[in-house]
């Protein structure tokens, strides 16, 4: 039509672009080949810098070129004055900055930048910090830059306080930022550490307590401020999990003290069992047994045939060493790695003996959150309940409430906890199995807690029978090495395969097995297969 501006067609434009790209590719390939030739010829000159610069500025992720550049720079450095070296590396920093604009998440660039700063006679850390600020304001989740920032902060001695303010700023502009929250969690204990507990509360009765300092804890005054910050975040957006995770961290992850919680010795079997507060690897952690002052050469074995770490380790004593009932023995198990030990005395006339940590009774099932004072936890529970009233479907809130309730009073809150688990499973069906698992764990713990006296809590399998009917059990994984077990009843469970029963083969006295009401009975040749797997079982009900 008359008067219209004529414009190139899309095809024409495409064609032009394609030609342009082809030209670029050709130039790139020939430059690359030239550089690689130079490198294999061992040439370390200015020209190499120029060529690699051209290539890297269009593709900063070419790691080989960065390596070559470092070789060249190291070579050039040797033949120059100090201020020339300074200039050389400063121009390198400028070049890297240009490359970062091409790809702000280039591993090669960030690594090279750290390296250049170590070579610079006078590194300008303020400038580097400014660069980090700028990059993080463009993309607050650029973890390359976060890493680099930590290097800069460490090298230039930026105060922890300034860094904390920096996280304040980033969280203020967008609190969905794990990096900032996490950085905060590393800064706070440095800036506001929890004062060392005063001596009155520190008279630990247990001689086995290891000298552990809770250096990762934060003082209460600051904690209260942090709780408020977290409240602001999860009341603003309760579905954002970053603040919830930070909050869980604030509430205190109670790390169990690493210790030997129980040593048990039996005359009849001439065996020592040691239980730890967490799974350990006995061979590598320096576990040593001393019997009546004599170190013993024993072989430690785990209760589980495959896992290397186990909370329980067993060893056999030399034959005849404790079998005489009229002798008294003193055993000590040393855990040399942790500078801790536990004694156990086997008196005359006793067939067996054990020594347990007395604290274990009170903290039988330590909740994940239990370090803080209960008044603080109580207040936090109230806040969460307030949020739950507004957001009855929020899974993060529900889960946090459950954890708080367990930390405060697991039995008193049992009913509410169960109701919350029910809601959780409904609002988050994807994780319903996880919630069921957690719920059943809590129920078991509660059942044990309800047993009034500590002694009742000692399970005795000496009646030699394990009854586990009607439990939806799918596997007997974990039921290894029960030396006294004679009878197992597993009626109406979900055992499908013979392999699910494998662990029973390690129980050497098992003779009676009841498997009625399990899908496994459909297996072909079940009788012969079972007698092959468990030859000792004589009374089998299918």
What is the binding site for another protein (CB under 8 A)? Answer: 1-8, 13, 172-175, 231-233, 235-238, 383, 386-387, 390-391
Q: Which is nearer to another protein, 155 or 240 (CB)?
A: 240
Q: Which is nearer to another protein, 172 or 197 (CB)?
A: 172
Count of C-beta atoms within a 10 Å radius of residue 42:
8
Query: Minimum distance between the CB of residue 430 and another protein, rounded to whole angstroms?
Result: 22
DSSP β-bridge partners for residue 310: 280
Q: Which is nearer to another protein, 146 or 235 (CB)?
A: 235
Q: Which is nearer to another protein, 95 or 175 (CB)?
A: 175
Angle between helix axes 107-119 and 82-102 (nearest 10 degrees) is: 160
Q: Which is nearer to another protein, 3 or 349 (CB)?
A: 3
3-state secondary structure of 84: helix
Would you give the end-to-end CA distance of the chain in angstroms? 91
Q: HSE on the CB side for 325, CA within 13 Å? A: 6
Q: Which is nearer to another protein, 122 or 236 (CB)?
A: 236
Angle between helix axes 178-191 and 143-156 (nearest 10 degrees) is: 20
Residues 291 and 120: their CA atoms lie apart, in Å, by 61
Q: Which is nearer to another protein, 242 or 518 (CB)?
A: 242
3-state secondary structure of 294: strand
Residues 71 and 315: their CA atoms lie apart, in Å, by 57
Query: Minimum distance between the CB of residue 235 and another protein, rounded to whole angstroms?
Result: 4
Query: Minimum distance between the CB of residue 453 and another protein, rounded to whole angstroms?
Result: 44
Q: Which helix (H) or strand (E) holds 315?
A: strand 310-316
Query: Minimum distance between the CB of residue 23 and another protein, rounded to whole angstroms?
Result: 16
Query: Minimum distance between the CB of residue 439 and another protein, rounded to whole angstroms?
Result: 27
Decide the pairing of beta strands 287-291 and 329-335.
antiparallel
Q: Which is nearer to another protein, 6 or 522 (CB)?
A: 6
Query: Minimum distance between the CB of residue 374 and another protein, rounded to whole angstroms?
Result: 22
Query: Minimum distance between the CB of residue 173 and another protein, rounded to whole angstroms?
Result: 6
Query: Minimum distance between the CB of residue 386 and another protein, rounded to whole angstroms?
Result: 7
Query: Minimum distance between the CB of residue 74 and another protein, rounded to whole angstroms?
Result: 44
Distant-in-sequence, close-in-space partners of 26: CB < 8 Å, separation ≥ 6: none
Nearest Cα residue to 258 out of 291, 296, 209, 190 = 209
Which backbone phi and psi does 333 adopt, to 5 degrees?
-105, 120
Q: Which is nearer to another protein, 71 or 237 (CB)?
A: 237
303-306 CB contacts, 8 Å cutoff, 24+ apart: 303/480, 303/481, 304/478, 304/480, 305/480, 305/506
3-state secondary structure of 96: helix
């Amino acid at each position: 039509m008359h008067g219209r501006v004529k414009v190139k067609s899309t095809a024409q434009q495409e064609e032009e672009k394609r030609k342009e790209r082809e030209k670029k590719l050709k130039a790139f390939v020939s430059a690359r080949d030239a550089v690689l030739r130079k490198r294999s010829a061992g040439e370390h000159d200015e020209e190499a810098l120029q060529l690699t610069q051209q290539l890297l500025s269009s593709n900063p992720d070419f790691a080989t070129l960065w390596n070559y550049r470092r070789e060249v720079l190291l070579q050039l450095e040797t033949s120059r004055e100090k201020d020339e070296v300074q200039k050389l590396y400063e121009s390198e920093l400028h070049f890297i900055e240009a490359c970062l604009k091409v790809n702000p998440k280039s591993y090669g660039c960030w690594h090279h930048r750290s390296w250049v700063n170590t070579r610079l006679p006078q590194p300008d850390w303020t400038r580097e910090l400014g660069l980090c600020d700028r990059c993080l304001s463009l993309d607050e989740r650029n973890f390359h830059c976060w890493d680099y920032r930590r290097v800069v902060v460490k090298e230039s001695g930026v105060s922890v306080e300034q860094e904390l303010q920096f996280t304040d700023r980033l969280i203020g502009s967008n609190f969905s930022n794990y990096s900032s929250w996490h950085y905060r969690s590393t800064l706070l204990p440095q800036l506001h550490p929890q004062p060392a507990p005063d001596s009155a509360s520190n008279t630990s009765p247990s001689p086995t307590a290891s000298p552990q300092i809770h250096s990762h804890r934060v003082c209460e005054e600051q904690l209260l401020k942090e709780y408020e910050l977290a409240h602001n975040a999860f009341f603003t957006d309760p579905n954002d999990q970053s603040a919830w995770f930070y909050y869980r961290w604030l509430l205190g992850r109670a790390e169990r003290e690493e210790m030997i919680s129980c040593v048990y010795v039996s005359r009849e079997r001439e065996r020592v069992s040691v239980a730890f507060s967490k799974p350990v690897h006995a061979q590598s952690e320096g576990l040593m047994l001393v019997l009546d002052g004599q170190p013993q050469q024993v072989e430690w074995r785990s209760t589980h045939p495959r896992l290397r770490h186990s909370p329980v380790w067993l060893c056999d004593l030399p034959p005849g060493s404790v079998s005489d009932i009229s002798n008294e023995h003193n055993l000590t198990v040393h855990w040399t790695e942790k500078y801790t030990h536990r004694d156990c005395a086997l008196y005359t006339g006793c067939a067996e003996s054990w020594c347990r940590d007395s604290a274990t009774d009170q903290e039988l099932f330590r909740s994940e959150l239990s370090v803080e004072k209960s008044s603080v936890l109580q207040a936090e529970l109230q806040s969460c309940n307030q949020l739950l009233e507004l957001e009855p479907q929020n899974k993060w809130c529900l889960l946090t409430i459950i954890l708080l309730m367990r930390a405060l009073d697991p039995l008193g809150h049992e009913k509410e906890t169960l109701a919350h688990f029910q809601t959780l499973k409904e609002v988050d069906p994807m994780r319903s199995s996880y919630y069921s698992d957690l719920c059943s764990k809590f129920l078991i713990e509660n059942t044990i807690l309800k047993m009034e006296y500590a002694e009742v809590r000692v399970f005795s399998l000496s009646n030699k029978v394990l009854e586990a009917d009607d439990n939806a059990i799918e596997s007997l994984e974990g039921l290894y090495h029960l030396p006294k077990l004679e009878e197992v009843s597993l009626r109406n469970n979900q055992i499908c395969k013979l392999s699910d029963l494998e662990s029973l083969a390690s129980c050497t006295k098992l003779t009676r097995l009841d498997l009625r009401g399990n899908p496994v009975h459909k297996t072909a040749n079940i009788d012969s297969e079972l007698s092959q797997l468990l030859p000792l079982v004589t009374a089998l009900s299918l």
